[in-house]
Structure 1
């Protein structure tokens, strides 16, 4: 009875091998038809034809310009110019949590908040008439201008720091131009 079982298995095995070979040949034929032929005048297999095909199909380079995403919409909705940054300081909803940088400006009824992440960050922006900034756990500096004068303020951690007009003897309205943070 064992001999009968072995003999019966052989024809089934042959059919399986034949089907597998036919499928492999069909897949190979389809794959061969998908490869592009070399450009006119190029020898098949030459390095020039391979480089040309790769160069023609290669995607373009992505160049980061550090522009703030959605900056135009934020300017229109909130009157804040967000220019460029490294992505570690981002505009945030003040109700979204603690640990935010908070900025008060004369032309804004509510504070403007920024979330800071990573070991360091920078953001260039324009917010006019800033007069106080509340720091967070990061060491923070802000650069501000009034007329041709530029001034840097060190922001105290986790407390309000007078900047701009509240720190100026003449009470001039300063514009916030850059925020820098580090751990």
Structure 2
């Protein structure tokens, strides 16, 4: 009988504690609300890092502009500025203002938006390449010969006007 009374008291205490906990969460005694700390219930996404949005801007473009006075805008990372060290696999751009500017091409396709003034020739590499150029409001595209010199800009223009190189596109 003592064991049965102990079990009844234990069950009664558990039911009473459960009822008090339910009242505290559901609205308190007499309709009053107990303060609840919601900081632990914040959504995890509210604290996570922001989204990384790729704008395809050329890395260190400001530094290159300051050091070499070449405007590199954006690309897909497969056409990158390189030192003209005599390597035979580089795409070479010849400009009256910049002399020779070289680019290394990787991958199966490449794209680079840039600004190099007074470009008159491009030496191709193993990639098929096209360059887009402007003079005033006129735009022209030139197909670059593989592993050979291609006259572009003023050297391919009947009027000998100064052209600005604006884009390079390559494919394997």
TM range (shorter): 0.7 to 0.9
SS for the counterpart of 1:142 is strand
1:119 counterpart (91, 96, 108): 108
**CA drift at 1:96:** 6.6
Q: TM-score, normalised by structure 1?
A: 0.71
* 1:98 aligned residue: 88
Distance in 2, matches of 1:104 and 1:41, equals 65
**CA drift at 1:41:** 4.5
* 2:133 aligned residue: 144
1:59 counterpart (45, 49, 53): 49
Residues 1:167 and 2:164 are matched in the alignment: no
2:58 counterpart (68, 71, 91): 68
Residues 1:40 and 2:29 are matched in the alignment: no
Q: TM-score, normalised by structure 2?
A: 0.75
* 1:36 aligned residue: none
Larger radius of gyration: 2
Between Structure 1 and Structure 2, the one with more helix by share is: 1
Name which of structure 1's ranges 152-161 and 70-79 shifts more when overlaid on structure 2. 70-79
Distance in 2, matches of 1:61 and 1:97, equals 39
Runs of 4+ in 1 over 2 A off after TM superposition: none
* 1:128 aligned residue: 117
What is the aligned-residue RMSD (CA, Å)? Answer: 1.6
SS for the counterpart of 1:165 is helix
**Structure 1: 5+ residue stretches without partners:** 1-38
**Cα deviations across residues 18-68 of structure 1 (Å, max 9, x unaligned)?**
xxxxxxxxxxxxxxxxxxxxx7248x8xxxx3xx34123311111111111
**Cα deviations across residues 75-125 of structure 1 (Å, max 9, x unaligned)?**
11111100000100000001173211001000123x100000001010000
Distance in 2, matches of 1:41 and 1:88, equals 49
Distance in 2, matches of 1:78 and 1:60, equals 34
**Structure 2: 5+ residue stretches without partners:** 1-35
Distance in 1, matches of 2:53 and 2:157, equals 41
